[in-house]
Chains A and B, each alone.
Chain A
């Protein structure tokens, strides 16, 4: 299968910065939803901004449908839809005026075709009724949906969304996630997030990035397997830190009749009464990130 996006030793170092924002990333992406997971400051946004032609990498290259992003941005841009982390637009315009304007800038010049395209994306993001609202009066969720609507204008082959669910309430978050999953049936959707749940529920493939380095790439189940044999359930009391090894990591606790049961990541049973538990994506993520080597406590 031909890869839609290829990253070859992609590196980025900002001027006057000691550490590289991206350090020799190699990735190959296909159609479907691809999650980029990592903590804040990991380099996710930098990576997406390079793909969106906003930044030029300082090393390596990124290729989208055979076009080098840095060398041929004019050929790449028509293929892209981009929703940045903090999407904002002209506050005084209504939703439909905004979309009409962006559609024109995306070279949908025929008024009839543009009208149809606006109807299509408005309906996709459920904003048809709110079309005459000014952007300044939109809630966070509606603004995000407008953001995805503008990205979808012209049916781009690649959709890049940066932390799209941040700040959304749970209901909006689920709706938004499902929408992205639907869109991924026909195109490549690159979703960056630090919320493991977003990736777990919707992405077929993912990459974990930390401090500019690629730590993992593969399917979510493979990431979960990284914690295989390292997840335990055990009683943890108020004095839990003392009763557990320093490198054990309590990722969750829940109250029971007999006391609090803790979910612990540890290379071996942390206590004699520990029982093994099925690893989740979040456990795998924490193991990959090295968050459970005692330094997180």
Chain B
């Protein structure tokens, strides 16, 4: 009898293929697919009267957090596989480097999301076929949704990878992810009920169109390859994303982006956090603010004002005014929470100190 050896030719392929296959044995995985299909069917029937483009866009928006959560779930499944199957004792004595292991596992997780992406494709096909026409917004909604889905997937994946690097214990990672997700949902729900679905997905992913999921993922890989400072490095964009999730909503209509005051405060808090985690990151950020403040020609642009505020707060702190800075920030945030603050108010509060 001949043994059927697979046609794979390297450990990365082997791990990716195994992870993808074993994912199909997970009840949670199929449940997530069921939830997604249920959501799409419910959304389709509930909003059928909308034009295809609008209908698709609305559905795609709601799918973002689901993709994010599923990506996190399958990734944790992959990275915790050896522990849950009690195979880690042998697995970690095999002559395969951690780079191959985690590349394979990431690839396996990404492959596992293909059925979910197939469901997203159905969102666009069903209204077009069912309603028998295509309106002008379909193409743009499709492009936007695909981008969002990919970023949501990468976001979930990178957050899970980040947690993997920080917490080796499988259960603890799940608990932390769960707390994080519910915390985000709660905060965003409180901040802006109607937009929290979008915020949950996007806030982890981009700031000023930079996909931070990539940064976090890159940080994780660097960590696996022995760059000990890379966790701190990855923590910075994740922290920024977290911060944006707290104060922002998606599509640039958010409270945070509307208010340069809050943007300035948020930037400064980020700087403090970067300063805390160290490794020269805060110096780089400060230099960037200084450059922005110096190079932006129009004196009243939000970007320039934010940069100036951050630099000024930092100077105050360096001059021994930490308490003063804290008080200023608190006042600002209180005013901002009432949505009653303008740029002039900010300057009044600021100069009053």
Contacts and interface: CB of A to CB of B under 8 A. Distances in A.
Interface of A: 49, 52-54, 74, 77-78, 80, 82-84, 86-93, 96-97, 100-107, 109-112, 114-115, 118-119, 122, 128, 131, 147, 150-151
A269 to B, nearest CB: 49
Contact of A92 (B6, B11, B25, B94): B25
B182 to A, nearest CB: 31
A83 B89 CA distance: 8
Given A96-B4, A104-B10, A107-B11, A82 B89 contact: yes
25 contacts: A54-B89, A54-B92, A77-B94, A77-B95, A83-B90, A84-B89, A87-B89, A88-B85, A88-B87, A89-B90, A90-B81, A91-B85, A92-B25, A96-B3, A96-B4, A100-B3, A100-B6, A101-B18, A104-B8, A105-B11, A105-B94, A107-B96, A111-B6, A111-B9, A114-B5
B93 A77 contact: yes
Given A90-B18, A104-B10, A104-B11, A78 B95 contact: yes
B22 interface: yes
A92 B92 CA distance: 20
Given A90-B87, A92-B22, A92-B25, A107 B3 contact: no
B22 A105 contact: no
Contacts of A49: 89
Interface string B74-95: 0000000100011101111111
B283 interface: no
Contacts of A86: 86, 89
Given A53-B92, A74-B97, A104-B11, 16 more contacts: A52-B89, A88-B85, A88-B87, A89-B85, A90-B87, A97-B6, A101-B6, A104-B6, A104-B14, A105-B91, A106-B96, A107-B96, A109-B10, A112-B5, A114-B5, A128-B1
B3 A131 contact: yes
Contacts of A87: 89-90
A101 B101 CA distance: 13
B7 interface: yes
Interface of B: 1-11, 13-15, 18, 21-22, 25, 81, 85-87, 89-97
A292 B10 CA distance: 56
A74 B98 CA distance: 11
A105 B14 contact: yes
A77 B15 CA distance: 18
B9 A109 contact: yes
A53 B91 CA distance: 11
Contacts of A104: 6, 8, 10-11, 13-14
Contact of B93 (A80, A96, A97): A80
Given A88-B87, A91-B85, A101-B18, A106 B5 contact: no
A255 B81 CA distance: 54
B86 A88 contact: yes
Counting chain A CB atoms within 10 Å of each CB, which of B5, B91, B97 scores highest? B5
A80 B3 CA distance: 24
B93 A111 contact: no
A108 B140 CA distance: 48
A112 B13 CA distance: 17
Contacts of A80: 93
A74 B7 CA distance: 26
B50 to A, nearest CB: 43
B118 to A, nearest CB: 23
Contacts of A53: 92-93
Counting chain A CB atoms within 10 Å of each CB, which of B1, B2, B6, B91 scores highest? B6
Nearest to A162: B89
Given A52-B93, A84-B90, A92-B22, A115 B11 contact: no
